Amino acid sequence: MVTPKHTAKKLAAMKADELFSSLLSPEQHAAVKKVKKGKGKTKNNPIIATGGYVASVDDGPEIFTGDNDDFDIIKHMQHAEDPVTGTLRDLKIDDGDMKRAKNYYDFSFNILGKDVHPPWSRQLWIGSMLFGEVCPCCSNKKWLDVNNVPKDYAAKEMPEHLVFLEYGVCPKCKRTKYDLIKNHNLKNYLQLDNVLGQRSGKSSSAGGGYAPYIAHRYLTFPNLATMSKSMQASTELTMTFVSLNFNKAVGVLWTPFRKTIENSSWFKEYFALLDFYKNKYGKELYRNSTLYMSFFHKNLRFYPSGPRSSTLRGDTRIAALLDELGLFPLPTGDQDEDENSERANADEAHKSLMNSLTTVSATTLKLMKQGQSFAPPCVMMCVSSPISQRDKVMRLLRDSKTDPTILGINMPTWEMNPDLDRDSPVIASAYAANWEKAERDFGANPPMVHSTYVKRATYEDGLFIGGQNTHRLKYMMDRPGEIYGRIERIRTSKWPSLVTIDAGHKNNSFSIVAGHFDFDTQKTVVSTLIEVMALESRSINFNLLYKHIILPLCKDVNAIAMLADQWQSVDLLYRIKEDMGNNPLGKPRTLAKQHSPRRKDFDNVVAMMNNRSIVLPLIDNADKQRVLDGQVEDWTSEMQGKPSAHLMLQMATVRSVGEERCPEKGDGYTDDLWRAYILFASKIHEPKIFERLVEARDFDYSNGRAKPSLPVFVGRSGGMSHYPNMLRQGLTQQLGHSNSSSPVTVNTIELDKLLRDNGG
Distance CA 600, CA 607 (A): 10
User: Would you place residue 264 in the very low, low, confident or very high pLDDT band (cuts 50, 70, 90)?
Assistant: very high
pLDDT exceeds cutoff 90 at 284: yes
Per-residue pLDDT tens digits for 172-226: 999 999 999 999 999 999 999 999 999 999 999 999 999 999 999 999 999 999 8
pLDDT exceeds cutoff 60 at 628: yes
User: Would you place residue 314 in the very low, low, confident or very high pLDDT band (cuts 50, 70, 90)?
Assistant: confident
Distance CA 325, CA 323 (A): 5
Distance CA 367, CA 682 (A): 67
Task: Give me the mean pLDDT over the 273-287 stretch.
Answer: 94
Distance CA 340, CA 349 (A): 14
Classify domain 468-618+670-697 at the CATH class level.
alpha beta
Contact (Cβ atoms closer than 8 angstroms) between residue 384 and residue 170: no
The pLDDT value given to residue 1: 55
| Collapsed DSSP state (helix, strand, coil) of residue 364 | helix
Per-residue pLDDT tens digits for 144-174: 999 999 999 999 999 999 999 999 999 999 9
**Closest CA relative to residue 486, chosen from 439, 541, 448:** 541
pLDDT exceeds cutoff 60 at 265: yes
Phi, psi at 443, each rounded to 5° = -85, -10
- The beta strand positions in 234-306, using DSSP E, are 237-242, 286-288, 293-295, 300-305
User: Would you place residue 317 in the very low, low, confident or very high pLDDT band (cuts 50, 70, 90)?
Assistant: very high
Number of H helices, E strands in the chain: 32, 23
pLDDT exceeds cutoff 80 at 64: no
Task: Give me the mean pLDDT over the 23-44 stretch.
Answer: 65
pLDDT exceeds cutoff 50 at 751: no
Distance CA 495, CA 511 (A): 21
Q: How far is CA 84 from CA 134, 159, 180, 214, 376, in A?
A: 18, 22, 18, 17, 12
Percent of the chain with pLDDT over 90: 64
Per-residue pLDDT tens digits for 81-137: 777 887 777 778 888 889 999 999 999 999 999 999 999 999 999 999 999 999 999
Domain boundaries, the chain: 5-80, 104-416, 468-618+670-697, 708-757
CATH topology of domain 104-416: Rossmann fold (3.40.50)
Question: Based on C-alpha coordinates, what's the Rg of the chain?
Answer: 37
Q: How far is CA 536 from CA 408, 511, 541, in A?
A: 33, 18, 14
